[in-house]
Structure 1
């Protein structure tokens, strides 16, 4: 059975192309929910006008759907709460 932690580990392999920090440590992932073979990821971007948003969301979807046991990944883009640099992991 796939867990939220499994999804978060895979998401650490997704990067914002303009910032060399993965999206988890960057603080862009707000929530992950796994129900059976479906995963729902709630995330944001560093700016609402991010020109690379489609590429980032496709990368997230593809990486999560590559997990054995996940057939469908839904990525929900949210703007509340707004992202700030304070969300970057202290490990970075």
Structure 2
């Protein structure tokens, strides 16, 4: 099974939209880091507020988008808040 590339991950994340702002997470600069280890993808997601009402929904959308990619079997998302990173 070929390893997924960062470009493929970024393209999938570009289709995930912030439900409040109606722009992609990539376009908004909310994806801070992408780490790929074989079939596992780790994402650093930087939210604008610690109590973002859509945080769980955004995280679920990230997981669904990445798990749909051939070669990805595990996704972890670390949520940061502006000022944490």
User: Do they superpose with TM above 0.5?
Assistant: yes
2:44 is aligned, of 42, 45, 49, to 42
Aligned residues: 81
Q: Where in structure 2 are the equivalents of 1:64-83 lying within 5 Å?
A: 64-79=66-81, 80-81=84-85
Task: Report the alpha carbon displacement of residue 37 of structure 1 after superposing the two structures with TM.
Answer: 0.5
Task: Report the alpha carbon displacement of residue 46 of structure 1 after superposing the two structures with TM.
Answer: 2.0
Partner residue of 1:19? 21
Q: RMSD across aligned C-alpha pairs, in angstroms?
A: 0.9
- State the TM-score, normalized to the length of structure 1: 0.83
Question: In the alignment, is residue 33 of structure 1 matched against residue 32 of structure 2?
Answer: no
Structure 1 runs (4+) greater than 3 angstroms displaced: none
Counterpart Cα distance in 2 of 1:20 and 1:10: 16
Q: What's the CA shift string for 1:8-64, capped at 9, x where partnerless?
A: 000001111110210001010000011100000011112211111110001101111
Counterpart Cα distance in 2 of 1:62 and 1:68: 12
Higher relative strand content: 2
- State the TM-score, normalized to the length of structure 2: 0.90
